[in-house]
Copies of this chain bind each other. A is one copy, B any other.
């Protein structure tokens, strides 16, 4: 299964936020045997988001989009997904009722905060999803996420994103396994071993050198677990490996 990640947010493009959502999702998906094919960050721009949702949705088995859901003017991700699939946005009564209940519960729980600030949320907007979307709802998030065709839309706040991903995690699976070995040998002294292990075992091999005096990493992956294990055993025999750095 091949999955692309699409991160929405000007603040990520400005370097104010490091994209830990993407690395968290990439690790989760890779751990499930999925191949993450692209990670793209785009601005809070409905047309650009729609373009990439469409492109990745056609090109890969699934797309996970994070960020830009909610009730303010710059939250345009859900509208962009509707546009990508040429579907209208519809107010979901079930979501609207949930939001009203949440707002009431919030007022009871935090009366001082509710009194200090005048909440002015367009509930219809927050409760709207593309026609036919499957809503994703968690206790952590105010706005619903959704699934449209093979596109999964999750919030941008990391805790909220992770909880919502849990709801759909089992829909992601694949047969890709990988293993990483460490070597004290400088990359320049690995010789032809990397190309040879790739050709012998039919696996993908990546070499990621570290600064001098730290071990480098060799990452072996493939869809045949026996081939990956064989390749790793061969590497341990051939190029000298060591423990990972602390």
A contacts, CB < 8 Å to B: 7, 9-20, 22-30, 35-44, 70-74, 113, 117-121, 142, 156-157, 159, 178, 180, 185-192, 194-195, 198, 204-211, 217, 219, 221
A126 to B, closest residue via Cβ? B188
The interface residues of chain B lying within 8 Å CB-to-CB of A43 are: 37
The interface residues of chain B lying within 8 Å CB-to-CB of A17 are: 23, 208
**Residues A187 and B73 in contact, CB atoms below 8 Å apart:** no
The interface residues of chain B lying within 8 Å CB-to-CB of A44 are: 206
Cα(A148)–Cα(B121), bound, Å: 50
**Residues B180 and A16 in contact, CB atoms below 8 Å apart:** yes
The interface residues of chain B lying within 8 Å CB-to-CB of A35 are: 13
B15, B26, B40, B189: the one within 8 Å of A14 (CB): B26
Cα(A9)–Cα(B185), bound, Å: 21
Cα(A157)–Cα(B217), bound, Å: 12
B18, B30, B120, B189: the one within 8 Å of A19 (CB): B18
